[in-house]
Amino acid sequence: MLSYRHAFHAGNPADVLKHLVWIQVLDYFTQKDKPFMVLDTHAGAGMYLIESTMARKTGEWQTGIGKLWEQADEALPEAVARYRQVIKAANASPALKHYPGSPWISGYCTRHADPLRFFERHSTDAPLLAQTLRFVQKRTQINVADGLAGLKALMPPPQRRAAVLIDPSYEDKTDYGKVVASLRDAVQRFATGTYVLWYPILARREAVELPDRLVKLGVPNWLHVTLTTQPPATDGLGMIGSGLFVINPPWTLPQTLESTLPWLTETLGEPGCGAFTLDWQIA
């Protein structure tokens, strides 16, 4: 199923959480001189106009990055300030016109020696992604293929260091089982990689059960964070928040999120609806 288009949702609270954590992961990896591979299994177009027809149809960015854009620097927690700094770097003017996807963020936050591997199956988004990533073209490979199959083929990486982002749309309920199987296989092939899995918080049984299935993979080091910002939909079907399950997280990430999530929840959550959870196990 390839009907999902991220342009409708770019810059929403789920993107804020996902990209804030992803930037923390990339910044941690670049502290060492040794190169590492970045792999993104569901890359999308890489850059989104917030005034596009699709973005205007939902206006979701206004509930996410829109609430952070104009705030004074001193009002922001350090991790939020870093996140906003990266988003501002994607905009040529002080006004918020573009929201970068994870591929652009990966290119911006990494170095010339760090290879970038992106997978995007959508026939419209793949050419847009190539255009977006011209500034890192020499170290980038874009594959119009199944990203979970690509993950299997590329683990372990030659560099013996890797940061992997997995964020399917979950339009197809079989995606939940596929990501669990893919992570199980990936950690068997390359146990020391950092894997960041995004998922939506929904009433759907598969979404509710996913975190427990991931914990039961038995990896020694993991972090699980959720951010809820919306009231439950009257039909029970709407997304009220999102979560990230990180295998082999940076050791600094739990403390960073502990100091950031209360502020982020209060700022992005609708009145009476903001909440977060944070659990981790570091062996």
Tell me the pLDDT tens digit for each residue of 181-204: 999 999 999 999 999 999 999 988
Q: Let me know if 114 is a catalytic residue.
A: no
- pLDDT of res. 236: 61
**Is 100 in contact with 47 (CB distance < 8 Å)?**
yes
What are the φ/ψ torsions at residue 94 (nearest 5 degrees)? -65, -20
Catalytic residue among 73, 167, 235, 279: 167
**Is 117 in contact with 129 (CB distance < 8 Å)?**
no
- pLDDT of res. 57: 57
Q: Which two structure tokens, joined as six digits, stand for 200? A: 């939506």
Per DSSP bridges, beta strands 222-228 and 275-281 are antiparallel
Report H helices in the chain.
13-29, 53-58, 65-68, 78-89, 102-109, 125-132, 147-154, 174-189, 205-215, 253-268
- pLDDT of res. 6: 65
Is residue 65 classed as helix, strand or coil in its secondary structure? helix
**Is 241 in contact with 226 (CB distance < 8 Å)?**
yes
Q: Which two structure tokens, joined as six digits, stand for 223? A: 């972090």
> What's the CA gap between 118 and 28, in Å, rounded?
20
Q: Which residues contact 3 (CB under 8 A, 6 or more apart)?
A: 171
- pLDDT of res. 52: 55
User: Of 225, 165, 210, 138, nearest to 26 (Cα)?
Assistant: 165
pLDDT < 50 positions in the chain: 1-4, 55
Q: Which residues contact 54 (CB under 8 A, 6 or more apart)?
A: 5, 7, 8
Q: Which amino acid is at 178?
A: K
Q: What is the Cα gyration radius of the chain?
A: 17
**Is 230 in contact with 239 (CB distance < 8 Å)?**
yes
Q: Say how far residue 1 (Cα) sits from the centre of its chain.
A: 20
Q: Is 248 left (phi over 0), alpha (psi -120 to 50) or beta?
A: left
Compute the half-sphere exposure of residue 51: CA atoms within 13 Å on the CB side of its CA: 3
Q: Which two structure tokens, joined as six digits, stand for 280? A: 């981790």
